Amino acid sequence: MRTAAGYSPVVAKKKQPRVVVITGAGAGIGRATARRFGADGDKIALLARGEEELEGAAREIEAAGGTALIVPTDVSDPDAMEEAADEVERKLGPIDVWVSNAMTTVFSFFEDIEPDEFRRATDVTYHGAVWSVRSALRRMVPRDRGTIVLVGSAMAYQGIPLQSPYCGAKHAIKGFFDSVRCELRNKGSKVHVTMVQLPGHNTPQFDHGRSKMPGHPQPVAPVYQPEVAARAIHFAAGSRRRQVYVGLPTYYTVLGSKFAPWLAELYLAKTAVSGQQADEPPDAENREGNLMEAPPGDPGAHGPFDEKAHDRSVAWFATRHRWALGGALAGVAAAAGLVARGER
């Protein structure tokens, strides 16, 4: 088509909607991430145990402009994950992006955690990620395309008190992630696996995580809103970054674990037990949490700490625009050098 002036305008092609699978999609970071992909008009499969929260997430996705498919699933069951993946591809098409986000935990000193509690937290958080990657790779590798996003944590590098099941699982996911990436490189596969390392976020996990402590669980400050994590996960799904770090706490946690682990350990021992407990006691009905069974209701994406939570992260902005910022800093340094040389 030509205009009256004789120019041929470039008509932007409409982006094809992606098929996105998100585990732990009913609440918290998974819920916010589903909304972010929904805003792109993507087709999103929502995997979690609680049907009420999945229905709430589906309504938000549809309102944002996406397509939602509810697939009630226990991610700790590898056969259930395979059935879920088959259902997604049968109803929505080939999976383009798989976001592994599901988790559960116990807030407690390690010696007070029962074996069945530790095993369950590990099955959901670690083995749920393993079975997610397994089901995704079985479909993506033969097609030689697709992206898997593992939702990690700064605690994949530095464990903290009262979170031994969760920290152990995130450390395990990090090692698993490294191994799978090596195998894909060996095969020359174009399937991309990335990991997003997060700080503390204001999510319902602090209401629904099983607690054996006197104070209500709370995230280690500074706290971010789940939409901050959602933007990073969405970015990771569309880039080729190996890892994405979110929030300044993640940077100093990773660096501290590498260069001064003894100092990080000393600091956390003195601050993180009290820092993870609010003044009020846990709700009596939530002490058991969602460890064994999904609680009824729809908790949404946000936890009870909206007043404390940041909806932006300067460090995340720097991570996303690292080359531009690096170039700007190099330019400033070069200009300073020229000025100094002129003065001499």
pLDDT of residue 333: 41
- Residue 1 resides in a domain: no
d(C-alpha 262, C-alpha 111), whole Å: 22
Determine the Cα–Cα distance for residues 145 and 70; give it in Å rounded to an integer.
24
Within 13 Å, how many C-alpha atoms sit on residue 194's CB side? 23
What's this model's pTM, rounded to 2 decimal places?
Answer: 0.87
- Please report the pLDDT score of residue 316 as a whole number: 58
Residue 14 lies in a domain: no
Residue 194 identity: T
Q: What is the DSSP letter of 246?
A: -
- Residue 20 token pair: 């996105």
As annotated, the active-site residues are 166
Q: Which residues contact 131 (CB under 8 A, 6 or more apart)?
A: 75, 76, 77, 78, 81
Which amino acid type is present at position 128? G
Q: What is the rounded CA–CA span in Å between residue 224 and residue 235?
A: 17
In a domain, 338, yes or no: no
Containing structural domain, residue 243: 19-312
Report strand pairing: 97-100 vs 210-211. unpaired
**Considering Cα of 303, then 304, then 305, then 307, what sign does the dihedral take?**
positive
Q: What is the mean pLDDT of each run of 10 residues along the chain (344 residues)?
A: 40 74 97 97 97 97 97 97 98 98 96 97 98 98 98 95 97 98 98 96 91 92 94 96 92 87 91 92 76 89 90 69 48 47 54
In a domain, 233, yes or no: yes
Residue found by looking up tokens 């800093």 in the block: 329
Name the nearest CA neighbour of 305 among 278, 271, 275, 268.
278
CA distance 320 to 313: 11
Task: Tell me if 121 is assigned to some domain.
Answer: yes
Q: What is the CATH number of the domain that holds 119?
A: 3.40.50.720
Judge whether 83 lies within some domain. yes
- Sheet arrangement for strand 192-197: 67-72, 43-48, 19-23, 97-100, 147-151, 192-197, 243-245
The candidate with the shortest Cα–Cα distance to 210, out of 104, 103, 106, is 106
71 belongs to a structural domain:
yes
Other C-beta atoms closer than 10 Å to the C-beta of 159 total 18
In whole angstroms, give the CA distance from residue 243 to residue 226: 18
Domain count for the chain = 1
Q: Is residue 333 part of a domain?
A: no
